[in-house]
Amino acid sequence: MTEALNVEQAAARLRQAGSVLILCHKNPDGDTIGCGSALYHALAALGKTAAVLCADPIPPRFAYTAPRLFRGEFEPELVAAVDVAGLQLFGDKGLMPAYSRRVDLCIDHHAGNSGYAQYTLVDAGAAAAAELLCQVIEAMGVELTPQIADCLYTGLATDTGCFRFSNTTARTHRIAARLIEAGARIEALNTRLFATKSRGQMEAERIARSHLEYHLDGRCALIWLDRDETAASGADPSDLEELTSLPIGIEGVKVGLTFRQQPGGSWRVSIRAAHGVDACAIARRLGGGGHLRAAGCELLGTLDNVKQAVLAEAEAVLDAAAEEES
Amino acid sequence: MTEALNVEQAAARLRQAGSVLILCHKNPDGDTIGCGSALYHALAALGKTAAVLCADPIPPRFAYTAPRLFRGEFEPELVAAVDVAGLQLFGDKGLMPAYSRRVDLCIDHHAGNSGYAQYTLVDAGAAAAAELLCQVIEAMGVELTPQIADCLYTGLATDTGCFRFSNTTARTHRIAARLIEAGARIEALNTRLFATKSRGQMEAERIARSHLEYHLDGRCALIWLDRDETAASGADPSDLEELTSLPIGIEGVKVGLTFRQQPGGSWRVSIRAAHGVDACAIARRLGGGGHLRAAGCELLGTLDNVKQAVLAEAEAVLDAAAEEES
């Protein structure tokens, strides 16, 4: 059983520790990296030994958060995890397994946090773990420097789609205001995080959009990109994730599908669903999985066969959802 | 010469008037409509006769702002303009010319406001006129209802690209927080304003993207849409504002241009500039105006002529900026 802490208690534990190892989740996003880095800079400002450990490399787009990375140089008095809801999310690469089973303090905003740490500060009303960590850092008596503000803003902005998603609250905006006053370079950050695409991404998007099709009486929209087109676009395949939000963003569409052919020839299918439709149910029928609103699977075959297979399952799930509603 | 007012003085003038006509700018966007509607609801709450006049229809996506539209039913004691930087922006359709030459009070956030009104409240540091109007409405002693908050949030969110653009300040976020506490339905608004596109918008965007061109050694990117394409797409022309952010979002681009042909045949040019480049300087050389990062003008001629004219000015401004930097 974990013991629940409040902001002040969590801050006190961090202040008491002489050295702190900060753990982020695998496949790191802006919130876990932003929090890990902000906490590192805050602890360093207090003269403590601190470093960040993540099972995967920090994506280059977050390089400016500039934490010290842990390479086993010290034995931490305290192990803290940020934005990590459960043990399986730490991953098992490198030094991680040696520390992820002995987390002292977890700071998180997931309602489903499994309570794996000895002490846990969870606030499911926080839009990002950064919203919570900002309060902890202030309670630690650390001044919000521009560097810390940049890191916290990164978590806040990426987890809220830049204040667009429904998790955004009045407090989220107030903390953004504080971070701007503390010197967060929001113009450069927003440009980097949200507004810049490579020419290759633009070209891949142009091709995918030119393949837009409507099916099932307009309840389903799909786009696709085969491997030759991906190669010709010059885009890095890892930069094409945003394509998956295009079809579901069209008026009236309940299921949005994106088909990306992989280098081996198979088709990676990304399924997005509107409120009331279960994307994961569609994916599961095809051997995949995921969440209620975002799921996926990978299929072999010609594009036409793959499309027909996915559309058939989408139709079944859509019809079931319509029946339930009526 | 106009007389400058502060927030309290502007609020007092509005409180003193028995009836108020509120003018918006032509080709209305979320800020002018949001402000016009918010001010209408605030005045109505004080029991005053008020209505909104705009040379163009209110776009359907802003229908929820629900102002009373002016049809000449009363002779206003006070004529107020919101988010209108100069006389030419009123347009000359319908009843507009009868009132746009006798504006008593202008509330605006454009640094280049021409001072056409008898009294002017301008704050160029406000990200949106709605940021300023929120303070005026509070100074009027009107409670921020959910309806008023929705209208003000519309102006704030649309003029800042949902808090992404560089005009966003700590005050912008604090006002967003106030509006959320006042009941602004940000989930529904953000979905409507930012996450949902009509089939027509998707088609217009597909066409515009297919016209993507790079110029000036990649420092400039442009897209265009002629009036036949706009008509064929089925998109409402007022829903094509988002196109203007596409070219400037490409890596390495310093000036992003969007050319939209108007029904009369002229070309509306939207100019967006990266840090260190003055979009307004480009627009001014072509008879237009705007802000440092976002400006525009309207030109007659063939697409090729218009492109060449704008590219020549963009090159001059880009070269001057590069020289200043070096």
Catalogue all structural domains in chain A, each as residue range(s) with its CATH number.
3-194 (3.90.1640.10), 199-325 (3.10.310.30)
Interchain CB contacts (distance < 8 Å): A and B? 101
Task: Check B163 against A166: CB less than 8 A apart.
Answer: no
Cα–Cα separations (whole angstroms), residue A174 to A170, A267, B163, B165, B179: 6, 44, 13, 17, 12
The tens-digit pLDDT sequence of chain B (326 residues) is 899 999 999 999 999 999 999 999 999 999 999 999 999 999 999 999 999 999 999 998 899 999 999 999 999 999 999 999 999 999 999 999 999 999 999 999 999 899 999 999 999 999 999 999 999 999 999 999 999 999 999 999 999 999 998 899 999 999 999 999 999 999 889 988 887 899 999 999 999 999 999 999 999 999 999 999 999 999 988 789 889 989 999 999 999 999 999 999 999 999 999 989 999 999 999 999 988 889 999 999 999 999 999 999 999 999 999 888 77
Q: Is B197 on the interface with A (CB under 8 A)?
A: yes
Q: How many helices (H) and strands (E) does chain A have?
A: 11, 12
Cα–Cα distance measured from residue B42 to residue B48, given in angstroms and rounded to the nearest whole number: 9
Residue B209 has its nearest CB partner, among A168, A195, A206, at: A206
Least Cα distance to B209 among A228, A191, A205, A223 occurs for A205
Show the tokens assigned to B180. Answer: 């959320």
ipTM: 0.82
A49: its two tokens: 């030994």
Whether residue A162 and residue B163 make contact (CB cut-off 8 A), yes or no, is yes
Instruction: Out of B174, B197, B250, name the one closest to residue A249 (CB).
Output: B197
| Residue A125 in tokens | 């009303």
| Least CB–CB distance from B169: residue in A180, A196, A214 | A180
User: Across the interface, which of B190, B202, B206 has its CB nearest the CB of A164?
Assistant: B190
Give the closest-approach CA distance of B129 to chain A in angstroms. 19
Model pLDDT for residues A64-118, shown as the tens digit of each residue: 999 999 999 999 999 999 999 999 899 999 999 999 999 999 999 988 899 999 9
- Record the tokens describing residue B213, joined without a space: 């061109």
- Contact residues, chain A, for B177 at CB < 8 Å: 170-171, 173-174, 177
Q: Do A199 and B164 touch (CB under 8 A)?
A: no
Tokens read off for B208:
């515009």
What is the pLDDT at residue B300? 97
Taking an 8 Å cut-off on Cβ atoms, the answer to whether A181 and B170 are in contact is yes
Q: Is A168 at the interface with chain B, CB within 8 A?
A: yes
- Whether residue A185 lies within 8 A of chain B, CB to CB, comes out as no
CA pair distance B324, B281, nearest whole angstrom:
15
pLDDT for B275 equals: 87
Residue A31 makes CB contacts below 8 A (sequence gap 6+) with A83, A128, A129, A130, A154, A155, A156, A158, A159
Rounded distance, CA A50 to CA A38, Å? 11
Kind of pairing, strands A294-299 and A289-290?
A: antiparallel
> Can you give the pLDDT at residue B9?
98
Alpha carbon distance A298, A279 (integer Å): 14
Integer Cα distance of B41 and B27 in angstroms: 22
Q: Which residues of A touch B163 (CB under 8 A)?
A: 162-163, 176
> Is B248 exposed, middle or buried (CB count within 10 Å of its CB: 0-12, 13-18, 19+)?
buried
Provide the 3-class DSSP secondary structure of residue A140: coil
Q: Which residues does chain B have within 8 Å of residue A194's beta carbon, measured at their own beta carbons?
A: 164
pLDDT score for B73 = 96
Q: What are phi and psi of A254, to 5 degrees?
A: -105, -30
Distant-in-sequence contacts of A42-45, Cβ < 8 A, 24+ apart:
A42/A137, A42/A140, A42/A142, A42/A148, A43/A14, A44/A68, A45/A142, A45/A143, A45/A145, A45/A148
Beta-bridged to residue A122, according to DSSP, are A108
Tell me, yes or no, if A74 comes closer than 8 A to chain B by beta carbon. no
Residues in B closer than 8 angstroms to A186, CB to CB, are 166, 168
**Which residues, given as ranges, of chain A have pLDDT below 70?**
238
Distance CA A233, CA B202 (A): 20
C-alpha distances in angstroms, A200 versus A236, A241, A266, B217, B242? 8, 13, 22, 16, 21
Of A163, A198, A222, which to mutate for an interface test with B (greatest number of B Cβ within 10 Å)?
Answer: A163
pLDDT recorded at residue B151: 98
Tokens of A90: 């730490």
The pLDDT assigned to A72 comes to 96
0.90 surpassed by pTM: no
Cβ atoms < 10 Å from Cβ of A227: 16
* pLDDT value for B277: 95
A6 touches chain B (CB under 8 A): no
A213 touches B: beta carbon within 8 Å = no
Residue B282 burial class via C-beta count within 10 angstroms: exposed 0-12, middle 13-18, buried 19 and up:
buried
Q: Does A186 sit within 8 Å of B166, measured CB to CB?
A: yes
- Interface check for A212 against chain B (CB to CB < 8 A): the answer is yes
Residues of B within 8 A of A191 (CB-CB) are 275
Note the Cα A71 to chain centre separation in Å.
25
Q: DSSP character for B193?
A: I
Residue B158 and residue A295: Cα distance in Å, rounded?
A: 31
pLDDT for position B233: 96
Chain B residue with CA closest to A221: the answer is: B199
